[in-house]
Amino acid sequence: MGGNILIYCGIDWAETTHDVALVDDSGELRAKRHITDDAAGYKLLLDLLTEYGDTEETPIPVAIETSRGLLVAVLRQGRRQVFAINPLAAARYRDRHSVSRKKSDPGDALVLANILRTDMHAHRPLSNDTDLARAIAVLARAQQDATWNRQQMANQLRSLLREYYPAALDAFATWQNGLCRPEARELLKAAPTPVKAAKLTRTQIAGALRRAGRKRGIEAEAERIHEVFRGDFAHQPALLEDALGQQMLALLGQLEAACAATDDLAKAVEEAFPQHPDADVILSFPGLGTQLGARVLAEIGDDRTRFADARGLKAYAGSSPITRASGKKSSITRRWVKNDRLNHVGYLWAFSAITASPGARTHYRRRRDDHGDWHAAAQRNLFNRMIGQLYHCLQKHELFDEQTAFPAQLAAAA
């Protein structure tokens, strides 16, 4: 198309087909298409954009309700800006055009295009992260999901064992990560019911510990477990106990798969994350190891223009407080709209930094003692400070320095 007419594209995403709408800067609908979610549909979309003036130098911005998938990957090629619009926000915009609450896929595509036409400045395009950063994000998020899934399976197994097999819970109570340890899983496979556990000899228990990879203290641990298994516990009826044992073995198989997936993804993260140029900066911060550091990079990316300042990153992480004021009333509370993954990392990061950094520990104690913060609030305040420091260090590519980060706290501690 000739002239200086600006064109905006909206795509209503679905699983198999998508509706596309193009509007100009006056709000007039210029074109609409219904495309399939395959290579032919993507080509039809790109040809349509080219027909209406899309070039490498002046690409047409696109609004869509997702940030993932092959369609988004195709659209992100080159310099094109792609805006992932929250479906809830799109629904609010829909009410501006119709009060009847009617809804259609072509109409939603038109709404998305008009969002860019009127309020593109108020929405953030997808960050221009490098392929390595995006690959690390896939691995780190998958490992985080696998860890959560593993814990969920362990909780289900623990709940089941409590119904009929308390001896197992007592035997594994002294182990860190309990049911997730290979020794616990190996013993449960050898004795799925308390009756069978009571019949295990010390030699059999020691063999299970060796098969699980244990190297030290095997005989003493086998003696302890042998005594626990032969202790006095209540029992379910025999038939019911055997049935619960079969159910337990099924859950145990799922837990073993979750543990294997978690370990495999952790190894993949450990291989990929150190290759990133920002890894040395992130790992220089107290409390951040390879796994947590990779999760931080996964959520903030390596596009230096993504956040205008440290305050934007703090708000995104949910660490900075939010003020709600109306008339003479005002309140300062925690943020509920945030990146939940980054916020979860912040809790673990601050918890580890308290013991790894003298300045962080002094800052935490000052928030508890002088300001009267509860534990969670003090940790959130520490995370808020440290993620601001991380923003500065990443912008300047500088390593963390304790004296620069916490000068007042270190002086007070001295």
- The pLDDT tens digits for 386-407 are 999 999 999 999 999 999 988 8
3-class DSSP state for residue 219? helix
DSSP for 289-308, written as a single string: -HHHHHHHHHHH-S-TTSSS
Q: What's the pLDDT tens digit per position in 147-164? A: 999 999 999 999 999 999
Spell out the residues 6+ positions from residue 306 whose beta carbon is closer than 8 angstroms to its own: 124, 127, 128, 300
Q: What's the pLDDT tens digit per position in 291-350? A: 999 999 999 999 998 898 999 999 999 988 877 777 777 777 777 778 899 999 999 999
Q: What's the pLDDT tens digit per position in 228-276? A: 999 989 899 999 999 999 999 999 999 999 999 999 999 999 999 999 9
CA angle 376, 265, 340 (to 5 degrees): 30
The single residue listed with the structure tokens 């619009």 is: 85
Within a 10 A sphere around the Cβ of 4, how many other Cβ atoms?
8
pLDDT number for residue 1:
46
3-class DSSP state for residue 388? helix
Pairing of strands 17-24, 29-36: antiparallel
Within a 10 A sphere around the Cβ of 347, how many other Cβ atoms?
14
Q: What's the pLDDT tens digit per position in 62-86? A: 999 888 889 999 998 888 999 999 8
User: How would residue 2 be classed by pLDDT, with cut points 50, 70 and 90?
Assistant: very low
Please tell me which residue, 371 or 267, carries the higher pLDDT value. 267
Query: In 165-309, where does DSSP find H-type helix?
Result: 166-172, 182-190, 194-199, 202-211, 218-229, 238-272, 279-283, 290-300
User: How would residue 99 be classed by pLDDT, with cut points 50, 70 and 90?
Assistant: low
165-169: long-range contacts (C-beta < 8 A, 24 or more apart)? 165/193, 165/194, 165/197, 165/244, 165/248, 166/233, 166/234, 167/194, 167/197, 167/198, 167/228, 167/229, 167/231, 167/233, 168/194, 168/197
Within a 10 A sphere around the Cβ of 204, how many other Cβ atoms?
15
pLDDT number for residue 409:
66
Backbone angles phi, psi at 83, to 5 degrees: -110, 120
pTM for the model stands at 0.85
C-alpha separations of 32 from 22, 45, 49, 132, 372 in Å: 6, 10, 11, 35, 59
User: How would residue 412 be classed by pLDDT, with cut points 50, 70 and 90?
Assistant: low
Pairing of strands 62-64, 329-333: unpaired
User: How would residue 414 be classed by pLDDT, with cut points 50, 70 and 90?
Assistant: low
Measure the N-to-C terminal CA separation of the chain; round to a whole number of Å: 70
pLDDT number for residue 234:
87
Please tell me which residue, 330 or 108, carries the higher pLDDT value. 108
What average pLDDT does the segment 278-285 reach?
A: 96
Residue 202's nearest CA partner among 189, 220, 184 is: 220
Topology, domain 7-122:
Nucleotidyltransferase; domain 5 (3.30.420)
Q: Is the pLDDT of residue 203 over 70?
A: yes
The single residue listed with the structure tokens 């309700």 is: 65
Phi/psi region, residue 216 (left: phi>0; alpha: psi -120 to 50; beta: rest), is beta
